[in-house]
A and B are shown apart, each in its own frame.
Chain A
Amino acid sequence: MNGLFAIGGAYLRVLFSLAVLLTCWLERGAGAQPTDLVCWVLVGAAVLTWLFDEVPAGAARALLTLLLGVALFFAGLELAVAQTGGEGDAFWAAFAAVWLGAWVLVAFVAEQPGKSGLSALIAPLLFGVTILWAWETAVHGLGVPRVILPAPSEIAGRLASSTDTLWTDLVQTFGRGALSGFVIGCGSAFLFALVVDRYAFLRRGLLPVGNFLAALPIIGTAPIFVMWFGFDWPSKAAVVVAMVFFPMLVNTVQGLAATDSMQRDLMRTYSASWWQTLIRLRLPAAMPFVFNGLKICATLALIGAIVAEFFGSPTYGMGFRISTEVGRLQLPMVWAEIAVAAALGSAFYGVWALLERRVTFWHPSQRGR
């Protein structure tokens, strides 16, 4: 933060300080929310932000950032807990102050040296917590009806109280639909890619067609598969197979072509057979592409299974739950289901990303992080 007027520098701190002053000025004598304590904590936080440039870099700055975080956390918690609905101007001034303060905090965290591991997670987590806090307090403060946007606390409560339903839906949609479709689709595409790779004619003919089909809204085949395979999971798996097949095929075929002629010639001087060349050279070389395809397919699989349920399903499953609970205006349940889907989606993707790191450790994109 060298330039005093850099974004996230002085401007932001001036805004933050103004919001704090406004809070304390509006709050005086009002008695209710926010309390004097919040006001003084925020003043302290504002002073801390201006001290940042004065202290030496290193442990002192880290400590100052930590103190600022604690102060803002306390102020935010105090504001959220004591909410009664129908808050006045002072509350919203404090709301703005905490929001701006969190922004300054994230800027400070981003300034800290060392971008590896845990510290790289702090800034996005702070941002996420701030968003959740703002959502929570704004929904309560503005009195937003819960059929439009439920508060995060309500969604979390629903998440905890209906684990059984959520688990049944998860097993149905992910375990039966998405996962089996993913395995069948990616597996068959991988095997087919080996065949396609063997014949140059197929490669020249199928790749453009596959590329074309991969860009189409395959999801539209869902009603057809529901008609053919019934409402239960086989139709979902079929949609997933149709969705993941071509991206996987195209990626694998590209990967199998990734070796250069020098490497293949070397294998020939060893008088290696086609199979030996495949297993020792071309499959390992294809792995970055294969994993790229698998990662794309991991996200597509969950999307396919959920959307296919919009076209017909048994009385459980994530897509079914989302569409029926929306109809009953039970939005906390819908959000809970979406939270599960989001966690599931990133976890499934994460598994493949981790495997990729283990398998293709030699690839430039995995080194030097």
Chain B
Amino acid sequence: MRNRFPALGPVLVVVAVILAIWYVAVIPMNAKWEYDQAARNGRELGFGEMVALTMAQDRPVLPAPHQVVIGVYEQTVGCDAVGRRMCRATTPLTLQGFGERITASFTSNRSLIYHAGITLSATLLGFLIGTGGGILLAIGIVYNRAADASVMPWAIASQTIPIIALAPMIIVVLNSIGISGLIPKAIIAAYLSFFPVVVGMVKGLRAPDAMQLDLMKTYSAAGRDVFAKLRLPMSMPYLFASLKIGIAAALVGTIVGELPVQQGGLGVRLLSGSYYGQTIQIWAALLVAAILAAGLVGIVGMIERRVLKRMGMAA
């Protein structure tokens, strides 16, 4: 029996150690620039002073963790995101001011909430299309030997090839025939989440063994009932395992899909950050993407636990 919540103590210690290593690494990574600056100004730089300076650079080689967190704050409800006027007029400390800033942040193209929203909507749309199509194809494969023999090997093989290489082409070609915005990215997200769902769902729909199928036969159950009452329920654990892989893949696909045509999204924040050397912007976008991924996988996991519990299959 697996514990739902692993013991928190060791996890916290490991996270603390990682953060500590990060902080220590910041010093040598950023030190060269500080020493160069000091040499240019013709003055000595003490060690303590140097350490303090490396933690607060504008464009650090490696930003300190707190800089990334502040970066996320600035680019969500901070002054960077909402603009100077709003910044003066409101404060994020009161509920009303916070609400106003969030609302302003939704539409500001300097805001990570706005960009995360673009990425999220394409991810979810693509995930829905890919999952729906994947489940349908899986049903076709399970019930049709010709489809099983001909399509299934390709579905499995497609797991081993970098289909994400297709992403720039899909974006640019669709853009050239006038389809842009959400749809091309959703298509990429869809085909990345499609194949894991097909493979997992086929496995799941085949999970009932001969005994169980025979039992249904002794009940003289119709094919429809065998599907709805035996195969489909049995496939749920497999489906959810694939959904978790699929939604993470869909997010990656959307982010990569945002690179060629710059129309907003976390991928654009990553790329423009790398063009202009705005490292804090890259790290902040990365952190938001990580939160998004963790949130999406977490939500799927939560639904999984609920569904499996209701079906009496909770591990």
Which A residues are within 8 Å of any B CB, using their own CB?
Answer: 7-8, 103, 106-107, 109-111, 120-121, 123-124, 126-128, 147-149, 201-202, 204-209, 212, 215-217, 219-224, 226-228, 298-299, 302-303, 306-307, 310-312, 318-319, 322-323, 326-327, 329, 331, 334-335, 337-338, 341-342, 345-346, 348-350
User: Is the CB–CB distance between A303 and B162 below 8 Å?
Assistant: yes
A319 to chain B, nearest CB (A): 7
Which residues of chain A are within 8 angstroms of B7 by Cβ–Cβ distance?
204
**A349 contact set on B, CB distance < 8 A:** 160
A147 and B176 within 8 A (CB)? yes
In the complex, what distance in Å separates the CA atom of A148 from the CA atom of B172?
Answer: 9
Cβ B146 vs Cβ A106 within 8 A: yes
B248 touches A306 (CB 8 A): no
Q: CB of B165 within 8 A of chain A?
A: yes
Interface pair A220/B165, CB less than 8 Å apart: no
Contact B168 A310 (CB under 8 A): yes
Contacts of A350 in B (CB 8 A): 160
A-B pairs, top 9 by smallest CB distance, nearest first, are A205-B10, A223-B274, A127-B150, A123-B149, A205-B14, A349-B160, A110-B149, A107-B146, A345-B161
What are 20 sample pairs from A and B whose C-beta atoms fall under 8 A apart?
Answer: A110-B148, A111-B145, A121-B153, A124-B151, A124-B152, A204-B6, A204-B10, A217-B248, A220-B290, A223-B271, A224-B283, A299-B162, A306-B162, A310-B168, A310-B256, A322-B169, A323-B168, A335-B169, A341-B162, A348-B160
- Interface Cβ pair total, 8 Å cutoff: 173
Query: In whole Å, how far is A80's beta carbon from the nearest beta carbon of chain B?
Result: 20
A219 nearest CB neighbor, chain B only: B252
Q: Which residues of B contact A (CB under 8 A)?
A: 6-7, 9-15, 18, 61, 143-146, 148-154, 157, 159-166, 168-169, 172-173, 176-177, 244, 248, 251-252, 255-256, 259-260, 266, 270-271, 273-274, 277, 279, 282-283, 285-286, 289-290, 293-294, 297
A215 touches B14 (CB 8 A): no
CB of B268, distance to nearest CB on chain A (Å): 11
* Closest beta carbon of chain B to A221's beta carbon, Å: 7
The listed residue with most B CB atoms (<10 A of its CB), out of A106, A126, A207, A223, is: A223
Given A227-B279, A307-B164, is A220 in contact with B154 using a C-beta cutoff of 8 Å? no
- Provide the bound-state CA to CA distance between A306 and B271, in Å: 15
Instruction: Write out the residue numbers on chain B whose beta carbons fall within 8 Å of the beta carbon of A345.
Output: 160-162
What residues of chain A lie closer than 8 Å to B18, measured between beta carbons? 209
Partner among A103, A212, A228, A342 whose Cβ is within 8 Å of the Cβ of B294: A212
How far, in angstroms, from A185 to B198 measured CA to CA in the complex? 29
B168 A124 Cβ-Cβ under 8 A: no
Closest-CB distance, A232 to chain B (whole angstroms) = 16
Q: Which residues of B contact A205 (CB under 8 A)?
A: 9-14
Chain A neighbourhood of B260, CB < 8 A: 323, 326-327
B146 touching A147, Cβ below 8 Å: no
Chain A CB within 10 Å — which of B13, B149, B166, B256 has the most? B149
- B contact residues around A103 at 8 Å (CB): 146
Which residues of chain A have C-beta atoms less than 8 A from B177's C-beta?
148
With A111-B145, A205-B10, A206-B14 known as contacts, the answer to whether A299 contacts B169 (CB < 8 A) is: no
User: What's the nearest-Cβ distance from chain B to residue A116, in Å?
Assistant: 13
For the complex formed, measure the closest distance between the CB of A303 and the CB atoms of chain B, giving whole angstroms: 5
> What is the CA–CA distance of A22 and B260 in the complex, to the nearest angstrom?
45
